Amino acid sequence: MGKIQVLDPVTVDQIAAGEVIERPASVVKELVENAIDAGASAVVVEIKEGGISYMRIADNGCGISREDVPAAFLRHSTSKIRTVDDLVHIGSLGFRGEALSSIAAVSQVELVTKTADQTFGTRYRIAGGKEEGIEDAGAKDGTTFIIRQLFYNTPARRKFLKTPMTEASHVGDLMTRMALSHPEVSFQFINNGQTKLHTAGNGKLRDVIYHVYGREIASNLLRAEYETSGLKITGFLGKPLISRGNRNFENYYINGRYVKSSIIAKAIEDGYKDFTMQHKYPFVVLHMEINTENIDVNVHPTKMELRFNRQQEVYNAVYAAVDEGLHREELIPQVEVNV
Ligand code: ADP
Ligand code: MG
């Protein structure tokens, strides 16, 4: 027999999981994105021990029908696209069909789900990629995932986890971003029994900003509004006086997705250049709607990087949104004084 063998599916899933699932916050990200894709208006996330031993993600979305439950955990199984052509019109946060199989490969999963047209819900258990049972369950419409003992079967991965406190703060940051990117959804985040975040889900971005960042920031905001063909920007610009010492307060979302983009960051900072001192970074929360044909989200498994068709247009639009927003009011530029 030759030396080369095709890996068994469980091993393949464990390896694939490494690309998507790095820590508790990655599990929460994938499951909250699924909840949003399922049309949920409320999502509750509860974690214990930084999520390492316990995470519960509950939504009131469309649920998964009984016959679809086992399939949802197969690798590359998705209800969101059918062919590669659909990638051009991606409106959902997920589409790779990798999250559930990856999570199930490296943890103990319990799922309770019910669709509106089913009388009974379904309870399903899967651990280390192995099905452990499916049964009826009394449940409300929607989906609840309980994830226990992340990386229990991949000690090498588990070793890289930080302290529960650090892991919990990553989950907290993620929940903040989810709340800011989807003001129309109510998010509750409970850490070790304490509610850390609970947004109203009334669709008002300013309310979410107030809730997350407090009064000082929420009362020093200017509105950003800009539209050009295939690209729309809305949101808020912090007045220069609330500029920060780091980039953590530059929030921007594309089609409801948290992304990192050096082009957008540069456009924001260039737009503020005349108003902020050196080494100060603005507070912004921008929502960008870009025609899906002009972006490629399928660059990286975590979908945090994306590619623009027309980079210069994106830069120009963001710069214009910032520039116009800041110039709409008489702001006093903060001039660097050299002594
Ligand atoms: P993707 O989101 O890329 O489609 P996932 O592995 O995250 O892949 O999920 C697989 C499928 O399971 C989804 O396409 C969806 O049909 C279903 N699903 C997952 N989570 C939920 C949820 N919270 N509510 C309803 N359906 C869900
Ligand atoms: Mg998904």
Dihedral Cα 108, 114, 120, 122, nearest 10 deg: -20
The Å distance, Cα 206 to ligand 2 centre, comes to: 28
- Terminal CA-CA length for the chain: 78
Query: For a substitution probing ligand 1, which of 19, 37, 82, 143 has the most ligand atoms within 8 Å of its CB?
Result: 37
Cα(106) to centroid of ligand 1, in Å? 17
The pair phi, psi for residue 102, each rounded to 5°, is: -65, -45
Residues 258 and 310 in one domain: yes
- Residue 80: CB within 6 Å of ligand 1? yes
Residues 183 and 276 in one domain: no
Query: How many structural domains is the chain composed of?
Result: 2
What single string gives the DSSP state of each residue in 157-169? HHTT---HHHHHH
Do the domain assignments include residue 248?
Answer: yes
Whether 280 contacts 243, CB under 8 Å: yes
Residue-wise pLDDT tens digits, 34-58: 999 999 999 999 999 999 999 999 9
The answer to whether position 338 is within a domain reads no
Is the CB of 79 within 6 Å of ligand 1?
yes
Ligand nearest to the CA of 64: 1
Question: Quick one: pLDDT at residue 109?
Answer: 98
Whether 173 and 125 share a structural domain: yes
Do 163 and 108 belong to one domain? yes
Nearest-CA residue for ligand 1 atom 21 is 34
Of ligand 1's atoms, which has the minimum distance to the CA of residue 102? 6
Kindly state whether residue 204 falls inside one of the protein's structural domains.
Answer: no
Residues 183 and 41 in one domain: yes
Q: What is the pLDDT of residues 126-183, one digit of tens each?
A: 999 999 999 999 999 999 999 999 999 999 999 999 999 999 999 999 999 999 999 9
- Beta strand residue intervals within the chain, DSSP E: 42-48, 54-59, 108-114, 121-127, 130-137, 142-148, 186-191, 194-198, 221-228, 231-238, 250-254, 257-258, 284-290, 295-296, 307-308
Q: Does any domain span residue 339?
A: no
DSSP letter (8 states) at residue 128: T
pLDDT digits (tens, 9 = 90+) for 82-111: 888 887 787 888 888 899 999 999 999 999
Strands lying side by side in the sheet with 42-48: 130-137, 121-127, 108-114, 142-148, 54-59, 42-48, 186-191, 194-198
**Ligand 1, atom nearest to 57 Cα:** 23
Which CATH number does the domain housing residue 119 bear? Answer: 3.30.565.10
61 has pLDDT over 90: yes
Q: Which domain holds residue 166?
A: 9-198
User: Are residue 161 and residue 281 in the same domain, yes or no?
Assistant: no
Q: Tell me: do 178 and 281 sit in the same domain.
A: no
CB 95 less than 6 A from any atom of ligand 1: yes
Same structural domain, 43 and 94: yes
Q: Is the pLDDT of residue 18 over 80?
A: yes
Nearest-atom number in ligand 1 for the CA of 98 is: 6
User: What is the CA(307)–ligand 2 centre distance, in A?
Assistant: 20
pLDDT-derived band at 330 (thresholds 50, 70, 90) equals low
At 88 the pLDDT is: 78
The mean pLDDT of 180-198, rounded to a whole number, is 98
Rounded to two decimals, what is the model's pTM? 0.93
Distance separating alpha carbons of residues 253 and 249, to the nearest angstrom: 13
Is residue 246 domain-resident? yes
Q: Are 38 and 153 found together in one domain?
A: yes
Nearest CA to ligand 1 atom 14: 78
pLDDT at 318 over 70: yes
Flag whether 334 is in a domain.
Answer: no
Q: Are residues 75 and 164 in the same domain?
A: yes
Which ligand 1 atom is the nearest neighbour of the CA of 30?
Answer: 7
The answer to whether position 213 is within a domain reads no
**Same domain as 76, residue 153:** yes
Nearest CA to ligand 1 atom 19: 34
Tens-digit pLDDT profile for residues 267-305? 999 999 999 888 899 999 999 999 888 887 766 766 677
User: Beta 142-148 vs 257-258: how paired, if at all?
Assistant: unpaired
Which atom, in ligand 1's list, is nearest to the CA of 62?
A: 25
For 116, 141, 188, 231, the CA distances from 38, given in Å and listed in that order, are 12, 11, 17, 25
Here the CATH number for the domain that contains residue 241 is 3.30.230.10
**For residues 207-226, average pLDDT:** 96
Among 247, 271, 261, smallest CA distance to 306 is for 261
pLDDT score of 333: 60
Phi, psi (rounded to 5 degrees) for 232 = -135, 135
Is residue 261 assigned to a domain?
A: yes
Determine if ligand 1 sits within 6 Å of the CB of residue 59. Answer: yes
Residues 63 and 168 grouped into a single domain: yes
